[in-house]
Structure 1
Amino acid sequence: MQENKLTIPRTARYYTLGTPSPQIKQLWLVCHGYGQLARFFLRHFNVLNNGQTLLVAPEALSRFYLDGFSGRVGATWMTKEDRLAEIDDYVAYLDLLIKEQRKQLPADVRVTVLGFSQGAVTVSRWVAAGKARCHRLILWAGAFPEDVDFAAGREAFAHLPVTLVYGTQDALIKEDMLVRHQQVMAQLGITPAILSYEGGHTLHAETLLLLHKAENS
């Protein structure tokens, strides 16, 4: 048996909060976690919709039923099956998405990329491998991939502020995991800021506002 591959066009879905205009000062690209859908994920960012911020939530290309064969649907950025092709696909997808968004915005717009849970791994690989550049990377309740391309990564992450955010009651985030993430980052010259809040494996409105205000200051 021989494996064969064919590259085809895909329809990718994404959601936005805010309207592109000369008044936009911040562009936030936010990537959801495993089993989520972009339109529900983006609702957490309503607190940042102030007329000067454009929020863009891409949806992962693979969808599935969360329970059995019907009902609620979620999406995933990748699985272990043909993972390298899936990574290439979402890197190309996010590259094109941010390129198209920036065409509509002022040249000096500040770009924040946030990944939640599985989305944190996704955006880390994208920043390391993609063509687009951002001004800040926020990894929320997620891992930093240990298989990142270190040769490309050192250039991509040079001088890029990185923040790790987690809830103190998040059952998926352990102290040894945080230490390991920081060790991997150190190999790329990354010394992340660390921000925590009282809560579990979810986004936190007050912390989002704090991060948003920090970029404006």
Structure 2
Amino acid sequence: MQLQTFNTTRTARYYCVGEPGPTIRHVWFCLHGEGQSVADFAAQLSNLVTPERLLILPEALSRYTLPPAPDGTLSTGATWFAASDLLPDLADLTNYLDSLAESILAACPPNTPVTVLGYGHGAAAACRWLASNRISYDRLILYAAIFPPEIDRRATLVGLPDRPVNVVTTTVEMYTPEVAGEGLVQDLLDVGLTAQLSYVAEDGLTLAALGAGAETINYEPNPNPTE
């Protein structure tokens, strides 16, 4: 018996908090954690929602049903990659996120600042995606980042463009020693990137907690749209 591969089109899902359009001043692509429902992830990001900020939450391609909640409600989790099929999964997620970003940004003003936020395994997925250097972005935020052992973290970080990276760790949940963030920051510095470490507590994610501060706007709308 011999394993073969076959490329086919499939339907991906994503959640949009806000509406792409001329009033958008910031676009955030937010990648969820392993087995996390996108709805739960969106609830964590509620403090970031403003009329001028568009949040795009892609769902990983490998979906499955999570165990029922205490009230019997079912929800969907997803994973970005499987250890047994890593390279095809990484190629698929890059193509998927590239196409999604291109579509979203085409509906927003030119040069709208882009932030990429990766949570848990979504941080590793974000780094692998951005290391392909196909999308222009302004800032990368890695929150409680977990790189599976199958992914060479240092080799991945070397491929990232020279953009600021904010590494965020939590004082509440420490899933693995890597979540503490110090090692990741050192790896980022070692490959020549600008990185800083910040901490969040259980109060929720805010711009300040994510190390984002005041977002800059490098887009000036045309006062005469017909020109």
Q: TM-score range by the shorter chain?
A: 0.7 to 0.9
Aligned length: 211
Contact 2:169/2:199 (8 A) holds in 1: yes
Query: Comparing 128-137 with 180-189, which one deviates more in the overlay?
Result: 180-189
Of Structure 1 and Structure 2, which has the larger fraction of its residues in helix?
Answer: 1
Amino acid at match of 2:13: R
Following TM superposition, by how much is the alpha carbon of 1:114 offset from its aligned partner in structure 2, in angstroms? 0.1
TM-score normalized with structure 2 length = 0.81
Contact 1:32/1:38 (8 A) holds in 2: yes
Amino acid at match of 1:129: S
For the pair shown, the structure with the greater C-alpha radius of gyration is 2
- Give 1:119's aligned residue: 122
- Give 1:30's aligned residue: 30
1:95-106 equivalences under 5 Å are: 95-106=98-109
Contact 1:48/1:209 (8 A) holds in 2: no
Following TM superposition, by how much is the alpha carbon of 1:48 offset from its aligned partner in structure 2, in angstroms? 2.3
1:12-161 equivalences under 5 Å are: 12-67=12-67, 71-143=74-146, 147=152, 150=155, 154=158, 156-158=160-162, 160-161=163-164
Contact 2:144/2:181 (8 A) holds in 1: no
Identity %: 33
Whole-angstrom distance in 2 between the partners of 1:59 and 1:51: 23
Contact 1:141/1:167 (8 A) holds in 2: yes
Amino acid at match of 1:147: D
* Partner SS state of residue 156, structure 1: coil
Greater than 6 Å deviation, 4+ residue runs: none
Contact 1:66/1:73 (8 A) holds in 2: yes
Please, which runs of 5 or more residues in structure 1 have no aligned partner? Answer: none
TM-score normalized with structure 1 length = 0.85
Distance 1:19-1:177 versus aligned 2 partners, 3 A rule: closer
Distance 1:148-1:126 versus aligned 2 partners, 3 A rule: farther
Contact 1:124/1:144 (8 A) holds in 2: no
